[in-house]
Amino acid sequence: MTKRIHNFSAGPAALPLAVLEKAQSEIVNFMDAGMSLMEMSHRSKEFTQVIESAESACRRLLNVPDTHAILFLQGGASLQFSMVPMNIAKSGQSIDLINTGSWSKKAIKEFKKESELNVLASSEDKNFSYIPNVDSESFNKDASFAYITSNNTIAGTQWQSFPNTNGVPLVADMSSDIFSKRINVADFGLIFAGAQKNIGPSGVTLVIVDKKLVERADEALPTMLQYRTHIKAESLYNTPPTFGIYMCGLVFEWLEAQGGVAAIEEINNRKSAKLYAAIDASDFYISPVETSSRSKMNVVFRVRHDEALEATFVKEATAAGLSGLKGHRSVGGLRASIYNACPEASVDALIDFMKAFEKANR
Ligand SMILES: *Cc1c(COP(=O)(O)O)cnc(C)c1O
């Protein structure tokens, strides 16, 4: 048996062991073709089957309606900060955005290059420790679209329900919580997610987009930067990241075998509830996040009285086989990323470690 540790990395993040083993078993000779998937044409019948089944599994898992296309692109979630406004911002109109942290700010920086921008609300006043309340009247009915970051990977906050935008198309960066809970895709104009948190390896970006929105794009935009190019070519306009898409497909298969998104949501609720309960039950640890805004994917916490102990915590946890618990370099503290593929047993092991660490250091 290969040694596996408890992996709480924020991204690239843990993948299901069953998925890694399946890929391992197929890596040298894929579907009896006598070569690896990595060595064959993206137009081969084998890869055609891989990408088609990945797309249909994604469609089933999230109930994606026929109005929306599913794309496997490159450039990370970060390229979407540019592609989104280039394609769907209307000239002379503004974008409505809610600023909930570092990733929203990166979107703001790029949106401003393409459009007028209206920041409707921000939680920067309190270190991004909460999700602001925004009522439907706040949205400007002429806005090109409204934008949110559904889960804030760094601050550890998450939208618990999505705002009613009064008919303005809603665009969401779901990089760190897509497939973690049920959502109604029809409520969104566009959803994007870098794969490396909850979907697969880095190098693939999933985009789910309402096909009528992409018709806004100017045909003069670079061909590769137009969604319509990739819709028309079914993500095969150029050579896609074939191995990465294959891995995403295996993760989707694994997710369906777990019972789908509703089943994993229940597990995620349980995992996060027990971890927050352990934090709240102790006066040694503290969650800096407002209770009603807490993320079920990225659990951020601090050592209450002595933040200097956090470095020791990370060091000793690593030695004990618990990896990736250091908070983001921009905010410090501790963070456990407990995405879909993080087993409940890893959360249990973390809670045991936290209790032992508290006992030894209080
Ligand atoms: C990780 C992350 C990104 C950046 O993803 P890249 O694929 O590295 O560009 C953007 N938004 C959120 C919410 C993230 O968690």
Please confirm, yes or no, whether 103 is among the known catalytic residues: yes
- Tell me: do 307 and 210 sit in the same domain: no
Whether residues 25 and 110 fall in one domain: yes
Let me know whether 158 and 24 are in one domain.
yes
Mutation probe of ligand 1 site: the residue of 171, 175, 197, 295 with most atoms within 8 A of C-beta: 175
CA distance 71 to 306: 46
Same domain (yes/no): 182, 304: no
Are 41 and 47 in contact by the 8 Å Cβ rule? The answer is: yes
DSSP H or E segment with residue 358 = helix 344-361
Same domain, 241 and 340: no
**Host domain of residue 246:** 17-258
Q: Are residues 311 and 227 in the same domain?
A: no
Mean pLDDT of 263-267: 98
Round the average pLDDT of the chain to a whole number and report it. 97
Average pLDDT of the segment spanning 315-334: 96
Whose C-alpha lies nearest to ligand 1, atom 7?
76
Q: Are residues 118 and 200 in the same domain?
A: yes
Active site residue 254: no
Mean pLDDT computed over 118-136: 97
Q: Report the pLDDT averaged over residues 193-205.
A: 98
In a domain, 8, yes or no: no
Label residue 3 by pLDDT band (50, 70, 90): confident
The whole-model pTM stands at: 0.98
Task: Supply the DSSP string of 57-113, one letter for each residue.
Answer: HHHHHHT--TTEEEEEESSHHHHHHHHHHHHHPPTT-EEEEEE-SHHHHHHHHHHHH
Domain co-membership, 214 together with 309: no
Give pLDDT, residue 1. Answer: 57
Answer yes or no: do 290 and 314 share one domain: yes
Alpha-carbon dihedral of residues 282, 288, 289, 290, nearest 10 degrees?
80
**What b/e string do you get for 5-39 counting C-beta neighbours within 10 Å, with b at 16 or more?**
ebbbbbbebbbbeebbeebeeeeeebeeeeeebee
Domain of residue 145, CATH code: 3.40.640.10
Same domain, 144 and 115: yes
Is 4 within a domain? no
Q: Tell the burial category of 330 from Cβ atoms under 10 Å away from its Cβ (0-12, 13-18, 19+).
A: exposed
CA of 349 to the centre of ligand 1 (A): 27
Last residue of a domain, one of 258, 290, 317: 258
Do 112 and 147 have their domain in common?
yes
For the chain, what is the domain count?
2
Shared-domain flag, residues 120 and 185: yes
Last residue of a domain, one of 237, 258, 279: 258
Out of 258, 287, 304, pick the residue that ends a domain: 258
Question: Residue 228: pLDDT band by 50, 70, 90 thresholds?
Answer: very high
